[in-house]
Chains A and B, each alone.
Chain A
Amino acid sequence: MDFLIDAFQPAFMQRALVGGIIAVVATSLIGTWIVLRGLAFLGDALAHGVIPGIAIAILWGFSPVIGAFVSALVMSGLVTFVSNRAPVRDDTAIGLLFVGMLALGVLIVSKSGSFATDVTSILFGDALGITADDIRRQLLYTSILLVCTVLFYRPFMVLTFNQDKAQTLGMRPRFSQAVLLALLSLSIVASFEAIGTLLVFGLLVAPPATASLLVRRVPGIMVVSILLGVLAVTAGLVVSFHYGTAGGATMAGFSVLQFFIVLMGKELIKTFRKRKSDSIATEV
């Protein structure tokens, strides 16, 4: 127990924990839909799609968060446009824009070399360096996400499980898809500045994926995902504190590890049950 209490004595560790937990809430709410809709690759791509927006924001001197959000919106808009209009699959559209945005970002950064450090430090924010201001901003974005998740619960359900019927139900699937992508952009922007891109990905995909192995209903997945994420963040921080491992990577690593532990547990139970029923069958 001291092991745990010691780790969270310093103020920066408490801030990292609070910031991490808020990020878990933001990413789990959206991540659940992302995992169920099969949009994980888009989430990954979007976090690179924000680089040109950040670079331009620093160049012209406005808030990098706004730059990143606009950039992510433009990218998700273009992805939707390409996959609607061109006869290519969604993942091709995403890959195309992923590279395009990344290339644009590197072009801008390299052309104006002097501010390159600012862009990298924004991209690779560090949960261990979170400030009270970061947390306040995170809270604001996360509340917006919460409200939108409640408001758009039904459209997202229909979009995810019954897309063909969505049109006839009058749910406007394209509009819901656009809202989902905007919320995804918001959750990425809300978290990466505070905790870094690596951890944002980890939390966006891993806890909802693990939760989907354990429960079936969407609200259940969200809640279990939040619990799993909180566990991964806490464990990651404690290990980083006591064993000196890099903070963000340890937390992200734990959230992925959870998935494989749960998967293996399920497999083991399955084989065990099968053997049991087999042995009953042979006895009979």
Chain B
Amino acid sequence: MFYNFRNRFSVLLTVFIAAISLFASACSSSDSSSSSASSGSASSSETSSSAEKLSIVVTTNILGDVIENTVGDLFDVETIMPSGADPHVFQASAQQVNQMMEADLLVVNGANFEEGLVDVIAAAKSDGVMIFEAIDFVEAIESDGHDDHDDHDEEGHDDHDDHDEEGHDDHDHGGIDPHFFTDPARMADVVEGFTAYLAENFPAIDQDSLLASSNAYLGELNSLDAEVEQTLSSIPEESRELITNHAVFAYFADRYDFEVLGSIIPSSSTLDNASAKDINDLVSVIRDENVSAIFADASSSGTLAEVLAGEAGDIQVVSLFTESLGEAGSAGSTYIDMIRTNAELIAGGLSN
């Protein structure tokens, strides 16, 4: 009876294998046909340009704000992550993935900043969605641990122009720090790169108004850069030292001559844990260097920062907008406000 059972069972299973593989092959062929259909419709919509605006979908809300300001109303810009979302853990719904897949252009931060979307972005790439990766357009900084911050100063920030050759075709972002947006000058590089990219890939759009709105925003970014420089000038040379919750301020430090003394959590991943030794080392660094403030993220809890502050004595914990824009109406609801607010808070924390 057992054997009889087993036979019927194996027949059933074989039917299942056959059904599944049939389904899979049918699907992969319909895959290619539907993707060719969609690319066909994309090109037809390009030729009949003015009928409907092309869509740009942006993953992070920081880049979303910047892109929206850069292109004005030439494109439909949609942002996937809501304000306040933690970009490292955000997961998209099928609806949002659909938006990304159907975009005429997908803009991502890159260097694995969008951890929860890595799979989806890879799938979009292999489906032939046009992707602009912002990190490719800046001079990147390696994020290798937290004990070799001293050699940053030599490189300085006077070589912003000659970086385009190096970083472009190498897509192995293994050890690259993704938080380039803490430096408004690098963000300006991205805006310039993006404008050139649009002009090259979408020749049908109105180039003059694209340049006009992009230049206007570039002007704002440049004066923001100058303003931040001005705000930070109140900090004496010997106090230009940052201790942060996550390792997010490497680009900011590189731009404005700060030294990152340490971060409580060495990298910014969810799986990463601080070690007791790291925290103890940081406490002695804070005491030796007479640091007056520690900076935490507004979007994640700063328990460890509080512990550190308590341990090291009389210092304050200041909350910054680091990885995500604040809610509408808050001091960090646009990219420019976010950078300006952070600069003021940092100046306030380190000046006294």
* B10/A150 in contact, CB under 8 A: yes
A123 and B35 CA atoms in complex are apart in Å by 28
Minimum distance in angstroms from B136 CB to a CB of chain A: 17
A11 and B127 CA atoms in complex are apart in Å by 9
Q: A114-B175, A244-B96 are in contact. Are A128 and B119 (CB under 8 A)?
A: yes
Out of B27, B102, B120, B174, which one reaches A129, CB within 8 Å?
Answer: B120
* A109/B123 in contact, CB under 8 A: no
Out of B34, B91, B96, B102, which one reaches A248, CB within 8 Å?
Answer: B91
* A12/B272 in contact, CB under 8 A: no
**Which residues of A113-147 have CB atoms within 8 Å of chain B's CB atoms?**
113-121, 123-126, 128-132, 135, 139, 142-143, 146
* A11/B35 in contact, CB under 8 A: yes
* A129/B121 in contact, CB under 8 A: yes
Out of A15, A16, A105, A126, which one reaches B116, CB within 8 Å?
Answer: A126
Contact of B42 with A by CB under 8 A: no
Contact of A154 with B by CB under 8 A: yes
Out of B91, B94, B269, B273, which one reaches A117, CB within 8 Å?
Answer: B269
Minimum distance in angstroms from B298 CB to a CB of chain A: 21
* Binary contact track A90-122/B, C-beta < 8 Å → 1, others 0: 000000000000000110011011111111110
- Main secondary structure on chain B at its contact with chain A? helix
Minimum distance in angstroms from A136 CB to a CB of chain B: 8
* B271/A14 in contact, CB under 8 A: no
- The A-B contact count (CB < 8 A) is 178
Minimum distance in angstroms from B245 CB to a CB of chain A: 14
Q: Which A residues are in CB contact (< 8 Å) with B24?
A: 18, 22, 135, 139
A54 and B335 CA atoms in complex are apart in Å by 37
- Please name the residue on chain A nearest to B8 by beta carbon: A219
A247 and B270 CA atoms in complex are apart in Å by 20
Of A118, A124, A129, the most chain B CB neighbours within 10 A belong to A129
Chain A interface: which of B70-78, B141-149, B185-193, B201-209?
Answer: B141-149
Contact of B233 with A by CB under 8 A: no
Using C-beta atoms within 8 Å of the partner chain, give the interface range for chain B: 35 or more
Contact of A35 with B by CB under 8 A: no
* B118/A129 in contact, CB under 8 A: yes
* B143/A114 in contact, CB under 8 A: yes
**Which residues of B267-317 have CB atoms within 8 Å of chain A's CB atoms?**
267, 269-275
Out of B9, B28, B98, which one reaches A241, CB within 8 Å?
Answer: B98
* B112/A132 in contact, CB under 8 A: no
Out of A13, A106, A149, which one reaches B13, CB within 8 Å?
Answer: A149
Minimum distance in angstroms from B161 CB to a CB of chain A: 28
* A9/B275 in contact, CB under 8 A: no
A202 and B202 CA atoms in complex are apart in Å by 45
* Binary contact track A239-268/B, C-beta < 8 Å → 1, others 0: 011111111110000000000000000000
A-B pairs with beta carbons under 8 Å apart, 27 shown: A9-B34, A10-B98, A11-B34, A11-B101, A11-B127, A12-B127, A14-B27, A16-B94, A17-B27, A22-B20, A113-B272, A118-B174, A119-B269, A121-B115, A126-B92, A128-B97, A132-B31, A139-B20, A150-B9, A150-B10, A153-B6, A154-B6, A157-B2, A219-B8, A240-B95, A247-B93, A248-B91
Nearest 8 A/B pairs, CB to CB: A129-B119, A116-B269, A113-B267, A129-B120, A240-B94, A241-B94, A117-B112, A121-B118
Interface residues of B (CB under 8 A from A): 2, 5-6, 8-10, 12-13, 16-17, 20-21, 23-24, 27-28, 30-31, 34-35, 38, 88, 91-98, 101-102, 112, 115-123, 126-127, 143-146, 174-175, 266-267, 269-275
